[in-house]
Amino acid sequence: MKYTVITGASSGIGYEAALAFAARGKNMILAARRTDELDKLKAKVAEINPDLDVVIRTVDLSIAANVHGFYESLQAYSIETWINNAGFGNFASVGEQHLPKIEQMLHLNIEALTILSSLYVRDYADVDGTQIINISSGGGYTIVADAVTYCATKFYVSAFTEGLAQELKGKNAAMQAKVLAPAATETEFAKHSFNVDEFEYEGRVPKFHTAEQMAGFLLELYDSESVVGIVDGLTYDFELREP
């Protein structure tokens, strides 16, 4: 039996992605800190397809020791797709950020993603049909004012994943690496990170996507041979392209 791992599945884009992958008949390992939300999601997946196996892992991935333990706890499963979606953003100018929030962004967006990607590539790079999809952001390609640290972590995600894709291709590895850059999306993250009515992107106020739309783009990227999927926050276009 094969599994799709989705980190940050308890809400937002990860939650909708889990429903979309359930509709595709995928068994899943769903991770986040809130067990109750993951349990509710598991019940919803069972409504879509009662034959699917859904494994729940409650884990705080901003703590390095947990990251290793989380990965090790999945040794019994055969993982065909790994989606590093869990992410955190604190929007404030550099001098006004709270240190714990900076640390959380660095630990979750960079450290956990890098460790999990590296372990998955180590173990599965030569397994046919495998892919890793890392969730960056429009801010991972264009810096947004007063969100410099968050954007820098997402630039890292984009660079790391595009580089990984090139490395895998250079080695003729079986695994594909891909990066999705969502635009502003109505989720808990967005609610807590910036004022939806005042948020500006390249001098304009973007309209927000739904998490369901973003999960649809994620599936499009999953189905494609392209490395990069970028959602344009101003035009709503979704562009698949190479690094």
Binding positions for ligand NDP, rule: CB under 6 A: 8-14, 32-34, 37, 59-62, 85-89, 108, 135, 137, 182, 184-185, 187-190, 211
Question: Residue 213 Cβ, how far from ligand NDP at the closest point, in Å?
Answer: 11
Smaller CB separation from ligand NDP, 112 or 173:
112
Please answer whether residues 149 and 174 qualify as being in contact, where contact means their C-beta atoms are separated by less than 8 angstroms: no
- Give the dihedral sign, CA 187/192/194/197: positive
Smaller CB separation from ligand NDP, 54 or 184:
184
Which distant-in-sequence residues (6+ apart) come within 8 Å of 65 by Cβ? none
Distances (CA, A) of 5 to 28, 32, 101, 139, 197: 6, 11, 26, 24, 34
Please answer whether residues 58 and 32 qualify as being in contact, where contact means their C-beta atoms are separated by less than 8 angstroms: yes
Question: Residue 125 Cβ, how far from ligand NDP at the closest point, in Å?
Answer: 23
Smaller CB separation from ligand NDP, 79 or 183:
183
Smaller CB separation from ligand NDP, 12 or 229:
12
Smaller CB separation from ligand NDP, 190 or 227:
190
Smaller CB separation from ligand NDP, 18 or 165:
18
Question: Residue 85 Cβ, how far from ligand NDP at the closest point, in Å?
Answer: 5
Tokens 């986040």 -> residue: 32
Question: Residue 66 Cβ, how far from ligand NDP at the closest point, in Å?
Answer: 8
The closest of 159, 24, 149, 18 to 85, measured between CA atoms, is 18
Question: Residue 168 Cβ, how far from ligand NDP at the closest point, in Å?
Answer: 22
Question: Residue 123 Cβ, how far from ligand NDP at the closest point, in Å?
Answer: 21
Buried b (16+ CB within 10 A) or exposed e, 64-77: eebbeebbeebeee
Q: Which two tokens stand for residue 130?
A: 């495998």
